[in-house]
Every structure is written in C-alpha cells, then in structure tokens.
C-alpha cells in the first residue's frame, strides 16, 4: 500500500517552466479536478432537485382540488400522462409497541406477517385488501393503527 501525506495542495506539485504539470502528478491532477467538478455538479443538481420537489409538493393540493372540480382523473400534457393517485399510509400508533402490534396481528389471524417484528408493507397490503373486499378491519387492529390517505398528482411518460 502506498503511503500518502494527509493533505497535499495540488497547485504546489511539479510544473515545468511554462507552468504545465509534469511527472506522475499530471494525470492525477486532471482526474482530481474532474472529480471535484463532478462533485460540485452533483451538489448543484441535488439542490435543484430539492427545489423542484418542494415546488411540486407545494402545487399538489391545488391541482388535486382543481382536477377533482373538473371531474378529471387524468390528462395528457406535453407527452406525459398526469393523473390522480391515492396512496394509503399505515403505521402503528405512537403508544403501540412492536410487541403489542405483533400480538394484535396474531390475534387477528395475521401470523404470517409476524417474525421477530412485523412487515409494515404486508400490513399495508392487508389493510388495502380489507377495503377492496369490503371487509372491516378488526377493531383491535384499527385501534392500534394510524391509517391516512394522500392523493397526489403524478406524471409518467
């Protein structure tokens, strides 16, 4: 393994009389500068993405309301299909421990969801299934869960 100095200023490495990098550091400098440029670009893009996501989130409620008022479920816009999708979010309530949740799931005949804990995604699917089949979620389970829905405007190509 090569030994390295803890910190090296790339600008202080060997240069010839016209200021060009010489020796083994020439390629290293080029690669390091490219790596730094990529890092800066990624940080700029991450920041831009954060801004775009915030703007999309800010528009969501208004667009959901306008599309609902227009009776519109989906629309083609600039080569993309924009549509309403309702996602269900299921999580145990704050005062319910994982152990209690596992006991409740077993009591409701949902043992297959329980190992050392329980599968949140399987539970979400089961809650969705209850609704699709027109069945009631067992009250003891319902009392232990937060169930919310969020409708978003989404787009796909």
Tell me whether strands 80-92 and 145-156 are parallel, antiparallel or unpaired.
Answer: antiparallel
pLDDT at 157 over 90: no
Indicate if 48 and 95 belong to the same structural domain.
no
pLDDT digits (tens, 9 = 90+) for 113-148: 887 778 889 999 999 999 999 999 999 999 999 999
Asked, for residue 8, whether it belongs to a domain, the answer is no
Report whether 49 contacts 113 (CB < 8 A): no
CA separation (Å) from 86 to 52, 73, 75, 89, 151?
21, 11, 16, 10, 4
Given a cut of 90, whether residue 56 has pLDDT beyond it is: yes
Give the pLDDT score at 131. 92
Domain that holds residue 40: 13-60
The predicted-structure confidence for 9-47, as pLDDT tens digits, reads as follows: 666 666 666 667 666 677 777 888 888 899 899 999 999
For residues 103 and 146, state if they share a domain.
yes
User: 48 lies in a domain?
Assistant: yes
């Amino acid at each position: 393994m090569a030994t390295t100095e803890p910190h090296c200023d790339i600008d202080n490495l060997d240069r010839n009389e016209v200021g060009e990098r010489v020796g083994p550091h020439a390629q290293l400098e080029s690669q390091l500068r490219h790596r730094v440029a990529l890092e800066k670009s990624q940080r700029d893009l991450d920041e831009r993405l954060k801004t775009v996501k915030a703007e999309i989130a800010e528009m969501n409620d208004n667009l959901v309301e306008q599309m609902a008022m227009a009776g519109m479920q989906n629309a083609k816009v600039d080569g993309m299909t924009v549509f309403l999708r309702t996602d269900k979010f299921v999580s145990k309530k704050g005062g319910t421990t994982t152990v209690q949740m596992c006991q409740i799931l077993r009591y409701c005949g949902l043992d297959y969801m329980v190992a050392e804990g329980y599968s949140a995604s399987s539970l979400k699917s089961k809650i969705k299934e209850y609704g699709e089949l027109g069945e009631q979620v067992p009250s003891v389970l319902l009392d232990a869960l937060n169930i919310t829905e969020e409708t978003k405007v989404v787009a796909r190509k």
